[in-house]
Amino acid sequence: MSPILEVDGLTVVFDTDEGVVHAVSDVSYDLQVGETLGVVGESGSGKSVHVLAMLGLVPMPPGRIVSGSVRFDGKELLGLNRRDLRAIRGRDIGFIFQDPMTSLNPVLSIGRQMTEGLEQHLGMSHGQALRRAAELIDLVKIPQPERRLRQYPHELSGGMRQRVMIAMALACEPKLLIADEPTTALDVTIQAEIIALVNDLKERLGTAIIWITHDLGVVAGIADTVQVMYAGRLLERGPIDAVFEDPRSAYTLGLLRSLPQAAGTGLVPIEGAPPDLRHLPEGDPFAPRNPYATPRCHRETPPLRQADASVDGHLVAAWYDLRQIDAPGPPK
Amino acid sequence: MSGYFAGRLLESLVAILGVLTIVFIAARLTGDPAVLLLPISATDADIARMRQELGLDRPLLEQYLAFLADVLRGDFGVSFEHHRPAMQVVLERLPATFELAGVALLIGAAVGIAAGLVAALARGTVLELIAMGVALIGQATPIFWLGIVLILVFAVELQWLPAGGRGGLDHIILPAITLATFTTASIARLLRSSMIEVLKEDYIRTAWAKGLVPRIVYLRHAARNALIPVITMIGILAGELFSGAVVTETIFSWPGVGRVVVQAIETKDFAVVQAGVTVISVIFIGFNLLVDLLYGLVDPRIRIAS
């Protein structure tokens, strides 16, 4: 199976008045056809910026791609002219954003917003596009599709709006769906419905998905592969079970321990705060908060490489070895 | 929608009643009409007879109700100057005012919207600087000064266009430009800032993410939202333009409502002043009503909320 997306050494910065913000540093990974990748990290980890930047959806300036290569379906995306990039956006790569209220245009009907991509990318007539839009609304399990097409975003509930966003993103049957915190703005019950819906659609359409979230719990419910980002870097990546059962990055371990557990041991927060992206520390960016950090962690940046004695493709960027530390229990 | 419309219509009627009341009170405050109407040599007996004739000896409330009854019949009294019904004098001038206002508004909306869009989309370029510099000057220039300069340059020096009066197409050019300058500048500046704000919205990022061409993103997705505040402003400006541009009409001897009211004030022709102020108010309030209704067409959220 060949990868649909190959990211190699992607580095993105923002030139601001207060200095250069290192948003994404040397990120590399492959995404296979039909694979669902969960990208986890907190605000400012570069998890959203790195995908937005590769498709030219970050304002440049101030944003700037310093180096790297991103190949989508064999075609280099970085440096692509706007026209060719537009032909890919919405056609081969669909997007879902965080807040479906602000991400849908308030003054355009659902029908208009659903059909315009179909008309532009697939050359459908408005009538054809409307019929297709009704099918898509039905696909995301919203009742009365024809009526919905005449409605406006404010007439729908939050969950329904996000379903419309999903239908819109899937309209042209993209090869890749990028979902940027699609459930963060929704109630927990609606979240579960959306995740179930995407899982169902994934099976049926075979679309590859990049699901960006700060919530490891959500990732567990949807992803095949998970990668953890921190301060613009990839700290750990691997098959979902391997990473959850045998985390090798202290940051991943910290994230897992800060999840609510069934048998009420209480939440264990990660001490400290993420680094200032304008003045990144030497070495491993997580080292200042890492109780297991070795002297080397503060000097040299660890490369992302195969974790010892774990499944193939379980990668970690760490000089320390988490297996030699007496888990479980909160780090002292 | 019909409930919303009925509510707004009722509000407008109340506003017009308020204007009529102020007109009535103002007319009573500016001096005894009987004294003003009669020659200086009139005796007290003459004045008393005149007061009785005009109904000024009756209680104020009775006078007020009689005034409203007259207004409902369209009777605003007779112009002393023109010896015809005052309302007729005012209404005769309406086409001239509407013609000038219509042309000025068209210029203002077309040029203003174009300039505002260009300035917003050409952010940080010389083009934006020029467009906004001109707009700022246009908004700050006093109308009477601009009108006089235009007359001096194009009518007196170059003799390309007539200096005043109403006639062929050439007569309307200078007053329309004078009147449109402020409107154009206001619309351009508001649309630019509104557009810049809208372009930062999440739904614009969605539109780009859908791979839509810039024309559709800017015009369909951004401009439609950015125009909402601009429509309000156009409505307010239209109300001002169509209710008679006093200064412009006076400078260019344009025979409109604004000019006839000013003339009536000078000659103390109160019936015409009352009729003129009433017509101006009704037009102004009518335009505000129209804007609120147009709003619903552009912004579906208002359509439903009502």
Q: Name the amino acid, one letter, at B11.
A: E
Q: How many domains does chain B have?
A: 2
pLDDT in tens, B136-153: 998 888 888 998 999 899
Give me B75's structure tokens: 């009777």
Provide the angle, in degrees to the nearest 10, between the axes of the packed helices A158-170 and A110-122.
10
Neighboring chain A residues of B224 at a CB cutoff of 8 Å: 105, 107-108
Residues belonging to chain A with any Cβ–Cβ distance to chain B shorter than 8 Å: 55, 57, 85-91, 95, 97, 99, 102-109, 116-117, 120-121, 152, 154-155, 165, 168
**Cβ-nearest to A117 among B211, B221, B299:** B211
User: What is the dihedral sign for C-alpha A148, A153, A154, A160?
Assistant: positive
Looking at the structure, do residues B106 and B254 belong to the same domain, yes or no?
A: yes
- Stated as kind and residue range, the H or E segment containing A316 is strand A315-316
Looking at the structure, do residues B107 and B81 belong to the same domain, yes or no?
A: no
Give me A213's structure tokens: 């979230």
Contact B203 A104 (CB under 8 A): yes
* Angstrom distance (rounded) from CA B16 to CA B202: 43
* Alpha-carbon B176 to chain mean position: 13
pLDDT value of position B167: 79
Looking at the structure, do residues B176 and B288 belong to the same domain, yes or no?
A: yes
Contact B202 A109 (CB under 8 A): no
Residue B206, domain extent: 90-305
Give me A177's structure tokens: 């769906």
| Residue of chain A minimizing CA distance to B206 | A103
**Model confidence band, residue B1 (pLDDT cutoffs 50, 70, 90):** low
Place of tokens 């859908």: B210
Neighboring chain B residues of A150 at a CB cutoff of 8 Å: none
* Angstrom distance (rounded) from CA B96 to CA A79: 59
> Which residue, B52, B71, B87, sits at the end of a domain?
B87
Contact B220 A108 (CB under 8 A): yes
Looking at the structure, do residues B82 and B94 belong to the same domain, yes or no?
A: no
> Which residue, B72, B87, B102, sits at the end of a domain?
B87
Give me B226's structure tokens: 């950015």
Kindly state the average pLDDT of the residues B26-49: 75
Beta strands A208-213; A63-72: pairing state: unpaired
* Angstrom distance (rounded) from CA A195 to CA A36: 12
Best B194, B204, B206 member to test A by mutation, with max A CBs in 10 Å, is B206
Burial class (CB in 10 A: 0-12, 13-18, 19+), A161: buried
Percent of chain B's residues with pLDDT above 70:
95
Looking at the structure, do residues B257 and B170 belong to the same domain, yes or no?
A: yes
Q: Are the C-beta atoms of A33 and A1 separated by less than 8 Å?
A: yes
Give me B278's structure tokens: 């009433």
Interface size, chain A vs chain B, as Cβ–Cβ contacts under 8 Å: 79
Q: Are the C-beta atoms of A198 and A209 separated by less than 8 Å?
A: yes
* Angstrom distance (rounded) from CA A158 to CA A100: 7
* Angstrom distance (rounded) from CA B265 to CA B250: 13
Q: Are the C-beta atoms of B14 and B285 separated by less than 8 Å?
A: no
Looking at the structure, do residues B114 and B169 belong to the same domain, yes or no?
A: yes
- Most confident by average pLDDT, B97-111, B227-241, B292-306: B97-111
Q: What is the CATH number of the domain that holds B161?
A: 1.10.3720.10
Neighboring chain A residues of B203 at a CB cutoff of 8 Å: 102-106
Q: Are the C-beta atoms of B27 and B33 separated by less than 8 Å?
A: yes
Beta strands A75-76; A93-96: pairing state: unpaired
Give me A264's structure tokens: 């009420």
- Stated as kind and residue range, the H or E segment containing B40 is none
Count the neighbouring beta carbons within 10 Å of the beta carbon of residue B224: 16
Looking at the structure, do residues B35 and B168 belong to the same domain, yes or no?
A: no
Residues belonging to chain B with any Cβ–Cβ distance to chain A shorter than 8 Å: 201-203, 205-213, 216, 220-221, 224-225, 228, 298-301, 304
Q: Are the C-beta atoms of B179 and B101 separated by less than 8 Å?
A: yes
* Alpha-carbon B51 to chain mean position: 36
DSSP character for A89?
B
* Measured torsion, CA atoms of residues A47, A49, A51, A56, in degrees rounded to the nearest 10: 180
Looking at the structure, do residues B208 and B289 belong to the same domain, yes or no?
A: yes
Q: What is the ipTM of this complex?
A: 0.88
Looking at the structure, do residues B248 and B103 belong to the same domain, yes or no?
A: yes
pLDDT in tens, B247-305: 888 888 888 898 898 888 888 787 888 888 888 888 888 888 888 777 777 777 776 54
Count the neighbouring beta carbons within 10 Å of the beta carbon of residue A289: 17
Give me A60's structure tokens: 């440049």
Q: Are the C-beta atoms of A50 and A27 separated by less than 8 Å?
A: yes
Nearest to A4 by CA among A101, A72, A103: A72
Q: List, in sequence order, every residue forming a beta bridge with A213; answer none if it has no partner.
A: A40
User: What is the dihedral sign for C-alpha A230, A235, A238, A244?
Assistant: negative
Question: In this structure, what are the phi and psi dihedrals at residue A254, rounded to the nearest 5 degrees?
Answer: -60, -45
Question: In this structure, what are the phi and psi dihedrals at residue B24, rounded to the nearest 5 degrees?
Answer: -60, -50
In the predicted structure, residue B156 carries a pLDDT above the cut 90? no
Give me B6's structure tokens: 């009925």
Distance from B130 to chain A by nearest Cα, in Å?
A: 23
Nearest to A181 by CA among A266, A84, A115, A102: A102
Looking at the structure, do residues B96 and B175 belong to the same domain, yes or no?
A: yes
Looking at the structure, do residues B130 and B182 belong to the same domain, yes or no?
A: yes
Q: Name the amino acid, one letter, at A182.
A: P
Beta strands A176-180; A93-96: pairing state: parallel
Looking at the structure, do residues B73 and B107 belong to the same domain, yes or no?
A: no
**Cβ-nearest to B211 among A86, A104, A107:** A86
pLDDT by 10-residue block (mean), chain A, 332 residues: 87 90 91 92 88 88 89 89 91 89 92 93 92 90 90 89 90 90 81 85 87 87 92 92 89 84 68 83 84 84 85 87 65 41
Give the residue with greater pLDDT, B34 vs A228: A228
* Whole-Å CA distances, A171 to A51, A116, B29, B140, B204: 20, 10, 71, 50, 18
Neighboring chain A residues of B298 at a CB cutoff of 8 Å: 107
* Whole-Å CA distances, B137 to B106, B141, B184, B290: 20, 6, 11, 30
> Which residue, B42, B70, B87, sits at the end of a domain?
B87
| Residue of chain A minimizing CA distance to B296 | A107
